Structure 1
């Protein structure tokens, strides 16, 4: 019996699925931890995926 294959997720073309990153801003705090900020992809808003575009009927050709 064949198994149902789920559709492939739509990975964001801008970040290739790596939507959030921690960037060091230099130095360490008094407790010895690196100072970091979190940056999110502006296209997918930190999810790593994008929604499918709808195809309009009668468009083109």
Structure 2
């Protein structure tokens, strides 16, 4: 049987699309568009985030 794993929350900054290709508007000599890639800095290109802990116990 497959393992049941909890779904990880999707990054709110990139909506789960951590790496995108952006055209620069320039073309190469062969007629192709020049592109650059941009990575999401919030999730470090994973598309998921780890939830913050809701409560922290302080003291005894």
**Equivalent position of 1:53 in the other structure:** 52
Correspondence list, 1:1-61, <5 A: 5-58=4-57
Aligned residues: 57
Q: Tell me, in whole angstroms, the C-alpha distance in 2 between the residues paired with 1:48 and 1:37.
A: 19
**Offset, 1:56:** 4.1
Q: What TM-score, normalized to structure 2?
A: 0.74
Task: Please list every run of 5 or more consecutive structure 1 residues that lacks an aligned counterpart in the other structure.
Answer: none
Tell me which moved more, 32-41 or 44-53: 44-53
Root-mean-square deviation over aligned CA pairs: 2.0
Kindly indicate whether the alpha-carbon contact (under 8 Å) linking 2:8 and 2:50 is maintained by their aligned counterparts in 1.
no
